[in-house]
Amino acid sequence: HISRFHPDYKFYNYAPTDTEVLRKAFKLGRSAGLNYIYLGNVREGNDTYCPNCHKLLIERYFYDIQNFKLKDGFCPFCRRKIDGVFCQAR
């Protein structure tokens, strides 16, 4: 999880992290082999894709899940096991 710094409390005189820096860190993580890497405190890079077929599995808007396509912890498109602990919302 790569979170963007944003000025708050006693740090108002500092600039927020440039989104290009976050994108670069995201690409570096992907190239290093991380399958599940996310950006935080920005509106992009929050979704989960299958590392095998690259289909969208979990769509998020900040912390809210908008669309959840996993079936019993597997990608419904290629059946690859997706790492994590998943449960149905009650």
Nearest-angstrom CA–CA distance, 42 and 55: 21
Nearest-angstrom CA–CA distance, 18 and 38: 16
C-alpha distances out from residue 79 to 6, 36, 46, 57, Å = 39, 17, 22, 12
Contact partners, residue 29, CB within 8 Å, separation at least 6 = 2, 37
Q: Is a pLDDT exceeding 70 seen at residue 88?
A: no
Model confidence band, residue 90 (pLDDT cutoffs 50, 70, 90): low
List pLDDT tens digits, range 19-74.
999 999 999 999 999 999 999 889 889 999 999 999 999 999 877 889 999 999 99
The predicted model scores a pTM of 0.81
